Amino acid sequence: MALAQRKPVQRLDAPEAAPALYRLLSDSALSRAALGACGFPLAMLDARIASRPLSYVNAAFEGFFGYRAGEALGRTLAALLFRGDEPLVHRLLAESTSRWKLRAWGKDGAVRHVEITFGAVHGADGQLTHWVVAFADRSEVERLRGQLEGLQALAATP
């Protein structure tokens, strides 16, 4: 009784099996690695869902705001960082300006002065799929501004 010869299974993640799929998977892994390694807090909002829930946060976001990915994903940006101010986030997404200086709150309840930037991501069909949200820490700038204002007030008193 002869054993049937089995054909070797071709891996779908091998370049010769499906070059376009392999390139897509490689690009996706590269993009995730780049976002994860970025030292600035980053998040992604799912634009295909009306509430715009968070679909990704990087390690810098977790460290800066104190929310682990499991706590953040699926929640709205407003609920997580802007004390439930959904109209604010809707205005930010609707404006043509892409940068704002705002106050956000971390998990510990402390205010964080941030500059927030939005970038739209469109699918191959041209439809908006996600928003990338980047945060820059402005806490030190705001602390120095407060000190300067205090010194100016002190100098103005006779």
Quick one: tokens of 6?
């089995």
Asked if pLDDT for residue 21 goes beyond 70, the answer is no
Instruction: Report pLDDT for 23.
Output: 64
DSSP state of 89: H
Quick one: tokens of 150?
């205090």
CA angle 81–97–123, rounded 5-degree value: 80
Distances (CA, A) of 135 to 7, 30, 63: 52, 21, 12
Domains of the chain are 40-156 (3.30.450.20)
Instruction: Provide the sign of the torsion angle of the four alpha carbons 128, 131, 132, 134, taken in this order.
Output: positive
Kindly report, residue by residue over 108-154, the tens digit of the pLDDT: 999 999 999 999 989 889 999 999 999 999 888 777 777 777 878 77
